[in-house]
Structure 1
Amino acid sequence: MSDAPRTLAEDLRGRGDDAVATLLRLRPDLLNPVPNDLTQLATRAGTRASVVRALERLDRFALQTAEALAVAPDPCPYETLLALLGGDEGIPEVTEALPGAVDALRASALVWGGDDRLHLVRTARDLLAPTPTSPSATGLGPTVTEATAGMSPGRLQELLAAAGLPATHDPVSAVAALTALFRDRTRMSALLAEAPEGTATVLSKLMWGPPYGEVRAEGASAPVRWLLARGVLLPAGPGNVVLPREAALHLRGGLAHRTPEPHPPAVQPGATHAIATVDATAAGQAFTAVRTVEDLLKSWDAGGPPVLRAGGMSVRDLKRTAVALDVGEPIAAFWLETAYAAGLLASDGEADERYAPTPAYDEWLRLPDEERWAALVAAWLPATRTPGLVGGRDAKGRALSALGPELDRSLAPEVRRRVLALLASLPEGASAKPEALLARLRWERPLRGGADALRAQLVHWTLEEAELLGVTGRGALSAHGRALQGRTEAATDAQTAAAEAAGLLAPLLPEPLDHVLLQADLTAVAPGPLRAPLAETLGVLADVESKGGATVYRFTPDSVRRALDAGRTADELHAFLAAHSRTPVPQPLTYLVDDVARRHGRLRVGAASAYVRCDDDSLLAEILADRRAAGLGLRRLAPTVLAAQSPPDVLLERLRSMGFAPAAESAAGDVLITRPDAYRTPPRSASLPVPEGPPVPDETLLGAAVKAIRAGDRAATAVRKPVPRPAGARLPRTTSADTLAAVQAAVLAGEALWIGYVNADGAASQRVVEPVRVEGGFVTAFDHTADEVRTFALHRITGVAELAEPAGAGDEPA
């Protein structure tokens, strides 16, 4: 009797724990929920959805191997499979790579059995084998047996006679004779040598697929008639013919695929730059990335744009953001999505919902530049949200908006990770063309239809986004970008890798400065990045005029008044400028500060609706006489007080537009300090990636799952002594007295029992247990199914049976 496994479950039963753990790691969908035993695991591994997912994870050569098995006899010897992939003459590369491909299919439980009897799981065969409506990737058609099904015995005898074969007594032997002819290279070559001119042209159109052809209505040509007469072409419906699989393989020289691809295409280096240039370029862009996100969210300090009813930002608001950042709309969408992924930006959740920075943004601002960059990259690496889709349409024709729903694509993190890994495999300073990267990804994971089109877009977007973030410089991976490799599949891994990369980036970033260069034209030049306190104060005191390698600030009456409104005094402003300027403070700037400070607060605006107060009654008379104040509803209450019909904020704005410098005051008469209040959302967590299927289990979970499956399989397959039970019952049935006696005897003998048990919810199960103690109506026993000690109520045990052989806790299943 052969020891070869008869089913996938038997094959899995013969594998070690490491092999089962590898299967669960490769196909994590099989683990939820944990299978009860190996039979259930095998059944689940053969379901259509799981097999489709497993096939999509194969590389091209492993998939070609599975496709060859789908058109091979079942079971298929290894030599037959090698002939299908290497042809009659053999291909050394295929011979070298095929064992690895078979091992990969076996590890994924898509193939089982020894090399002498390879079985492709039935579901995979159904998916990959050719059908009239869905030819396989091999381009092969049906076998002679399948193509002649339903053909009359007389017609079969005619085919044999025309092919020069002896007549047979039944259709089965006739089909077998015809099949043997097509598989015999010598006899088939001799038969085709007799074909009329033009036959080779007809066959060349069908042999690599599709194998179906159409016969003209006015009648078949002489070559087609000759081929049909001998069964080299067979009818496939009205006006159609098909080239049988065996005949096609002869014409192909035994090859199942026109071009076997046992090895991945190499990614050739493109333009190469000095690594110092690459690192400097990437570091400069990393610094720009941090400043861009900071500027974006600073502009939303008092609240950002509203959230659309369907979610996301409007097109108009995206355009305004792009103009404010001086970038294109696709790049603006990328920065928005990156900030959102990092948890720096969210909606406030109020009735009039709008976007605003989160409290995490304030913490992010306090970090060094390299750590701020690391936070952005750690969010980008595993993110499934895809900014490149913004502006496109979903399946229902609806526009896809920035920060809106429907932007998650589970393929994005995998493409991002592989593109960076391939760049890391190139020599330092070398870039790669997107087409070469895409060709490699297509070999590593063949995808079909829209998924492949999306992957092509993701490759281009990844290269662009990596350059924007400073992960690459001039298309080549930087030194800090290489530190991101190897641990980018999970969010926590990405954070760790980004932190290490930040350590390499830090020395390349410019050192923050504590000074500016004041100029006589009322501007200040910051020759580099400024320290946070200096940049914050200068941003209030002056307006940013231009950015670049150096930032230019301009001082205006409005900007100086803004600083005075924020509570600064003229003396404090003079001291600040003198302390942080490497050049003498220009006299025009000193005069500007003093002039604005002298006029600042002479007028006082309060709530009446509003009032204006001033010690200089002539100044109030000037305001009353100004025609521009006609709409404010002003009237004099006292020589130094005017009442107004307008609110205080409107009154303040109008008087400032008239050239005055009023200050707001409180009900107690004190000047109000008007610092801009930063608007923040409630605490929000960063958006979570949407994974493609279940996550890969960790080693702890894998170990526990394998133990549970082995224990359940032990309970399900253990050899038991016969026990009386009603017909059709799954669980053993014994009386209460017999159950108690058997359990007590097992405690004394230290033996294992097979029990049936019904829990409090009424769920029945069968278990192999080793009773340890019996008392108070309960049995304490080691449960091999759960691999732990449990307590069972005696009244819930339906029955017991002794095992044919002792089953110790350490035994391994057969």
Structure 2
Amino acid sequence: MPESPSFAAWLRTAPEPWFRAFAAYRTDLLRTDVTDVARLAALAASQAAVARGLESLDAPALRVVHRAAVLARIAPAVDRSELLAAAEDPAPEAALTSAITAGLLWPATGSGDPAAASAYRVQPEAGALLPVTAAARATPQPWQSAADPRPLRTAAVSDALLENAQGAGVAGAVSRALTVVAEFSDHEVSQLVSGGVGKRDAQTLARAAGTDTARFALLVELASYLGWLSTTRDPADPQWRPTAEFDTAAASPREQVWTDLVTAWLTHPVDIAHVLAGTTPAGERIHLLGRDEHARTAFGGFPSARPQILTLRRLVLVALLREGGGRALSEEDVVALLSFTHPLLAAVRTDEVAQVLDEAESFGLTASPLGHPDAHALTPIGRVLAEWIAAVDDPFDLLGSSPVNAQELASGPPAALREQIAALLPPLETAVTLQSDLTGVAFGPLDHTVSLRLERIADVDTRGQGTVYRFTDDSVTRALRTGESVESILAVLEDVSATEVPTTLEHLVHAAGARLHRIRVARARSVVVVDDPTDLDILLDDPVASAIGLRRLAPTVAVADASSDRVSALLETEDRPILRIDPDAEDPAGTRAPVPARAAPPTTRTTRVPAARIEAHINDLAAARAQPPRTSSPARRATSPSAAGASAAGRGTTAGSSGTTSTTSTTGAAGAAGASGTAAGEGAGNTGTGTAVGQDAAASADGDPQTVLAELGEAAAVSAPVDVILTTTDGTQRTVRMVPQSVSGGRVLGRTDAGKALRISVARIVRVRRSGSRDDEGSTRG
């Protein structure tokens, strides 16, 4: 029975179907610079690749790998029966096969069918990523008990209900978004020191917009991401205000507004559940419109390759598409399903999934059947969007995702969906019916400009497909205090009313105007005008005057250093109702915030093999694997000390080594390097432009970090002595003979022939060769 092989050694001799299955599954490892099996194996053994492989496993396969990583701390080869028992699944062989196909396990002994081997080895980095110590395993992980909930319980939902829900959701999302952003024009919202919006301000604005706090927070975050909201340039007191970009969006077709919102929802990594809680599971404080640089680390534990909330949103939609079959799934079943299929996704929690489903419903993407509020089904537009997501960047295919897919997703849904949205939206109403009970009724979605004019002088009593406005003494007084006059209010009512203005409403407006005192505040930062000089004397004697820098210019005129909004607020706190005059004058701070400058989108370059070339690349790798090992001549492999030293020094000079230095050849050797199809060359690294596959491409692999790691991994697997040629701090080279024991964290740990422990930084290693290989003959002494 052969000795326990390394992953690279097994990959070179694995049965053809197994090699092709591994390469087809791990498409994230297929790169134009990975041209032989040695590089492929070294890349698969890196921590990033192992992490992505673990993320792609379901719960039973993850339990198999975890058990292997735990037992590998005792012995490198783990018995098959131990792994099958760890799966805790009706089909444990399938879980074991998944782990092998992902390149996380491989047979330790024997030949033949890899799935039937008696023992297996595991990638060392799996132990660094999973809880393998006794202390770490003391806290149970959810995936250790996750079971497949399929077949799922479903509930029927009528087509009429889905169609009505999507129409109401689309119209409501557009209307709420425009209303929410417009509220920032009517309220003074200061920016926090940390850059966001205070909780009290958010609650006030949410009530004014007539929506709940969760949906308000979502729309504000998306509006900021789209450039509809920003801060003014006042260094003393920056305010959150709508931008000119918002004015453009408000004038755009409503289907375009909806498309922009949904695209931002799929690409902006803000977790509203964290915003509402004020903290992330990782313990970081977060608030509305705060910085989002922690999006990737919001959840502690396993490192994720992308922001988890984005993955969860896409997963929920695609899961409803594939598992619902046109019927509704319960929140509980969605959580159980995703916990089984994506056990390492920490965002799969009941509160997070419930928040995502609520957000999807607010956009008209999902609906709940009557009598089952906890069940959700995709609407027709939700199915179209989910199918597009699955085709562009399938969240269930983590390894097939690439930056190119993400860019395509950010470009927005297809034009066909936009046309479908446009057909759902009813025509806008431009007039309301004013009634003698002091209400105004819009019998359909109201034009945004008309609604903004009415909301200045009335309160929204009911929102929905139609809107009911209620005129009260407080609402009319509010309009008068923000710059309107009795005449302008009556003019607005006559302009937007489909009928005559009721007498009762006229009397209400005139009565509210008659009660206000004659203290007026004009915009000029700011000018206070009074009718009676005595009123101004009282104001100047008040301590508030010094706080706002109030100074008399004339018997009835004074100026202040604060904005007109602040002067008005301070005077009203002293029980001095005011009127604004000259409401159309421009405030020095600006009525619109500047549109935030967006950095140009980065140019995404990747060495990943395009999808159309994957099959051909796998064929080339299989053909290169079948070629017999070929060793190049010593003269071709020789590397000058200066060139090799410069290459190694460029990779890092911060680690040291200790031990005996043997006088051996500094050129490459056959041994494991020849078996892996690698030899020395002048171009080290993984960014070369050559695309050859096989022995010719491998001729330039010497010195490549992946090749070095592969050689060290193979030597550690069989406890074989190697000669490590490394660069010292002064740029010279030395050769150290050692027996590697482990390779992790960018360092190789081993012992010399005398038993002395060594720790060497991989960045300083120029080349590795097996000791005593025949390639040493006739080579140059170093």
Same fold, judged at TM 0.5 (above): yes
Contact 2:434 2:499 in 1 (8 A): yes
Of residues 253, 270, 274, the one that matches 1:368 is: 253
Structure 1 counterpart of 2:775: none
Of residues 562, 581, 593, the one that matches 1:680 is: 593
Q: Partners of 2:282 and 2:343 in 1: how far apart?
A: 27
Q: Per the alignment, do residues 60 and 559 of structure 1 end up closer, same or farther by CA in structure 2, a change over 3 Å counting?
A: closer
Structure 1 counterpart of 2:287: 401
Structure 2 counterpart of 1:792: none
Structure 1 counterpart of 2:665: 728
Contact 2:278 2:286 in 1 (8 A): yes
Q: After TM superposition, list the pairs within 5 Å mapping 1:114-513 onto structure 2.
A: 114-115=112-113, 118=117, 119-123=120-124, 133=134, 264-266=148-150, 268-301=152-185, 305-348=189-232, 351=235, 352-390=237-275, 391-394=277-280, 399-405=285-291, 406=294, 409=298, 410-426=307-323, 430-447=327-344, 452=346, 455-474=349-368, 475-488=376-389, 489=393, 490=406, 492-493=408-409, 495-497=411-413, 500-513=416-429
Q: Per the alignment, do residues 386 and 713 of structure 1 end up closer, same or farther by CA in structure 2, a change over 3 Å counting?
A: same
Deviation, structure 1 residue 389: 1.3
Structure 1 counterpart of 2:106: 111
Of residues 558, 561, 565, the one that matches 1:646 is: 558
Q: Partners of 1:675 and 1:270 in 2: how far apart?
A: 59
User: Is 1:519 equivalent to 2:454 in the alignment?
Assistant: no
Q: After TM superposition, list the pairs within 5 Å mapping 1:8-27 onto structure 2.
A: 8=8, 11=11, 23=23, 26=26
Q: After TM superposition, list the pairs within 5 Å mapping 1:737-756 onto structure 2.
A: none
Secondary structure at the aligned position of 2:434 is classed as strand
Q: Deviations over 1:84-132 (max 9, x none)?
A: 6899xxx9x63xx845851563244643675157544342786799988
Contact 1:514 1:531 in 2 (8 A): yes
Q: Partners of 2:668 and 2:687 in 1: how far apart?
A: 8
Q: Deviations over 1:586-606 (max 9, x none)?
A: 4566789999999x9x99999
Deviation, structure 1 residue 298: 0.7
Secondary structure at the aligned position of 2:382 is classed as helix
Contact 1:341 1:380 in 2 (8 A): no
Q: Partners of 2:200 and 2:477 in 1: how far apart?
A: 29
Using structure 2 for the length normalisation, give the TM-score. Answer: 0.58
Q: Per the alignment, do residues 647 and 426 of structure 1 end up closer, same or farther by CA in structure 2, a change over 3 Å counting?
A: same
Structure 2 counterpart of 1:174: none
- Give unpaired runs (5+ residues) of structure 1: 140-256, 613-619, 634-640, 666-670, 733-753, 771-781, 788-814
Deviation, structure 1 residue 380: 1.3
Contact 2:631 2:679 in 1 (8 A): no
User: Is 1:699 equivalent to 2:616 in the alignment?
Assistant: no
Q: Per the alignment, do residues 457 and 558 of structure 1 end up closer, same or farther by CA in structure 2, a change over 3 Å counting?
A: closer
Q: Per the alignment, do residues 340 and 710 of structure 1 end up closer, same or farther by CA in structure 2, a change over 3 Å counting?
A: farther
- Give unpaired runs (5+ residues) of structure 2: 299-306, 369-375, 394-405, 541-552, 640-663, 670-677, 702-782
Secondary structure at the aligned position of 1:646 is classed as strand
Q: Partners of 2:225 and 2:631 in 1: how far apart?
A: 56
Letter in 2 for 1:335: L
Letter in 1 for 2:58: D
Deviation, structure 1 residue 551: 2.7
Greater relative contact order structure (CA < 8 Å, 6+ sep): 2
Secondary structure at the aligned position of 2:386 is classed as coil
Q: Per the alignment, do residues 716 and 681 of structure 1 end up closer, same or farther by CA in structure 2, a change over 3 Å counting?
A: farther
Deviation, structure 1 residue 345: 2.9
Secondary structure at the aligned position of 2:267 is classed as coil
Using structure 1 for the length normalisation, give the TM-score. Answer: 0.56
Deviation, structure 1 residue 428: 6.3
Deviation, structure 1 residue 39: 1.6
Structure 2 counterpart of 1:60: 59
Q: Per the alignment, do residues 86 and 496 of structure 1 end up closer, same or farther by CA in structure 2, a change over 3 Å counting?
A: closer
Q: Deviations over 1:47-89 (max 9, x none)?
A: 45542442232112333554677779988999x79986899xx
Q: Deviations over 1:259-288 (max 9, x none)?
A: 996xx3215335433121133134323322
Percent identity over the alignment?
A: 23
Secondary structure at the aligned position of 1:384 is classed as coil
Secondary structure at the aligned position of 2:185 is classed as coil
Q: Deviations over 1:202-260 (max 9, x none)?
A: xxxxxxxxxxxxxxxxxxxxxxxxxxxxxxxxxxxxxxxxxxxxxxxxxxxxxxx9999
The number of aligned residues is: 592
Structure 1 counterpart of 2:743: none
Pairwise CA RMSD: 6.2
Letter in 1 for 2:101: R
Q: Partners of 1:127 and 1:755 in 2: how far apart?
A: 31
Structure 1 counterpart of 2:759: none
Structure 2 counterpart of 1:543: 458
Q: Per the alignment, do residues 378 and 498 of structure 1 end up closer, same or farther by CA in structure 2, a change over 3 Å counting?
A: farther
Structure 2 counterpart of 1:528: 444
Q: Per the alignment, do residues 466 and 511 of structure 1 end up closer, same or farther by CA in structure 2, a change over 3 Å counting?
A: same
Contact 2:10 2:106 in 1 (8 A): no
Secondary structure at the aligned position of 1:42 is classed as helix
Higher Cα Rg, which structure: 1
Letter in 2 for 1:554: F
Letter in 2 for 1:45: A
Q: Partners of 2:40 and 2:478 in 1: how far apart?
A: 71
Q: Partners of 1:766 and 1:604 in 2: how far apart?
A: 73
Secondary structure at the aligned position of 1:524 is classed as strand
